[in-house]
């Protein structure tokens, strides 16, 4: 089973998923709640006789893969007096490891938050709020600056949640929906 033949489907809040046969294009909504705590990949057999794998995605929000360069700052006061250029490309070293400020690359975005990677060591931990700034690769090159809460840290991979008190913004919302 290769990634190209693996069908990925988003599970709705009602614990149902729309499965579409790649052979005959027949679609069916099935109940998948019983798979939430066990395996997330099913082997499905269509009424046409074709069998194919389906990966169930139980996320609350659609997640868009990205490669957006930006910066992260451990406190909003760190922004004052600094001139940051966030229209950058590639990987960069950390700015100041003692303050947990640095360059990042946003690897995915959703309505609920984002995930980014750092190129070097950092002092980030789950729990605190940080400021992230990055530029969308949309036609307007929209600059996004958001306060986020760090949800998890796995080496250089940092997962964050947007603050509920801050609106997502029209440009970011439009960017996230295909």
| Three-class SS state of 113 | strand
Could you tell me the two tokens for 7? 């069908």
Instruction: Give the angle subtended at the CA of 80 by the CAs of 163 and 156, to the nearest 5°.
Output: 55
Between residues 97 and 32, the one the model is more confident about: 32
Q: Which domain range does residue 67 map to?
A: 63-176
Q: Give the whole-angstrom CA distance, residue 149 versus residue 45.
A: 42
Check residue 90 and give its pLDDT. 52
Least trusted range by pLDDT, from 28-37, 90-99, 131-140: 90-99
Q: What's the chain's Rg over C-alpha atoms?
A: 19
- CATH, residue 150: 2.40.10.220
Q: What domain count does the chain have?
A: 2
Percent of the chain with pLDDT over 70: 79
Could you tell me the two tokens for 123? 């002092």
Between residues 78 and 142, the one the model is more confident about: 142
Give me the mean pLDDT over the 27-56 stretch.
85
Query: pTM of the full predicted structure?
Result: 0.59
- Helix (H) / strand (E) containing 175: helix 170-176
Q: Is residue 166 part of a domain?
A: yes
Query: Mean pLDDT for the chain?
Result: 80
Residues 17 and 48 in one domain: yes
Residues 171 and 111 in one domain: yes
pLDDT tens-digit readout, 100-148: 688 999 999 988 899 999 877 788 888 889 999 999 999 999 999 999 9
Q: Is residue 1 part of a domain?
A: no
């Amino acid at each position: 089973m290769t990634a190209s033949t693996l069908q990925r489907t988003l599970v709705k809040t009602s614990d149902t998923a729309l499965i579409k046969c790649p052979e005959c294009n027949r679609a069916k909504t099935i109940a998948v709640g019983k798979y939430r705590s066990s395996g997330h990949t099913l082997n499905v057999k269509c009424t046409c006789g074709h069998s194919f794998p389906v990966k169930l995605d139980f996320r609350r929000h659609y997640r868009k893969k990205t490669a957006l360069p930006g910066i992260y700052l451990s406190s909003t006061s760190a922004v004052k007096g600094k001139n940051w250029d966030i229209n950058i490309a590639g990987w960069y070293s950390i700015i100041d490891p003692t303050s947990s400020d640095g360059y990042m690359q946003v690897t995915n975005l959703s309505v609920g938050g984002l995930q980014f990677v750092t190129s070097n060591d950092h002092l980030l931990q789950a729990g605190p709020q940080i400021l992230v700034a990055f530029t969308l690769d949309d036609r307007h090159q929209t600059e996004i600056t958001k306060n986020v809460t760090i949800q998890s840290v796995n080496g250089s991979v940092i997962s964050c949640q947007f603050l509920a008190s801050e609106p997502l913004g029209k440009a970011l919302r439009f960017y996230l929906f295909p």
